[in-house]
């Protein structure tokens, strides 16, 4: 299946393309997609699946389907 992965404001080593289509096997989970990005600290990134938050602890249990949009970005800090 193919999904769209968008990366926003990631520091090196960041994926080379801010938006791309990746191919995953049927039954793949959010954690599988993130592992393909080659991030140094993937658990420190925030993730959205079709604009819904996916906490780090649920990535291995959250299934993907063809056409999903996964967005990965650093957590926003401020105050």
Total domains in the chain come to: 1
In a domain, 78, yes or no: no
What's this model's pTM, rounded to 2 decimal places? 0.88
> Is there a contact between 26 and 18 (Cβ–Cβ < 8 Å)?
no
Residues 6+ apart with CB under 8 A from 9: 73, 74
In a domain, 79, yes or no: no
pLDDT score recorded for residue 12: 65
pLDDT of 37 above 70: yes
Distance between CA atoms of 21 and 40, rounded to whole angstroms?
A: 21
40-76 confidence digits (pLDDT tens): 888 889 999 999 999 999 999 999 999 999 999 988 7
In a domain, 11, yes or no: yes
pLDDT of 15 above 80: no
Distance between CA atoms of 65 and 78, rounded to whole angstroms?
A: 34
Mean of the per-residue pLDDT values of the chain:
90
Q: Which is nearest to 27 in space by CA: 64, 79, 58? A: 64
pLDDT score recorded for residue 2: 98
């Amino acid at each position: 299946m193919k999904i769209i992965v968008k990366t926003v404001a990631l520091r090196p080593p960041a994926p080379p393309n801010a938006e791309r289509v990746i191919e995953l096997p049927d039954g793949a989970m959010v954690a599988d997609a993130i592992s393909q990005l080659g991030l140094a600290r993937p658990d420190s990134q925030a993730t959205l699946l079709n604009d819904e938050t996916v906490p780090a602890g649920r990535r291995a249990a959250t299934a993907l389907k063809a056409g999903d949009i996964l967005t990965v970005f650093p957590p926003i800090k401020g105050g």
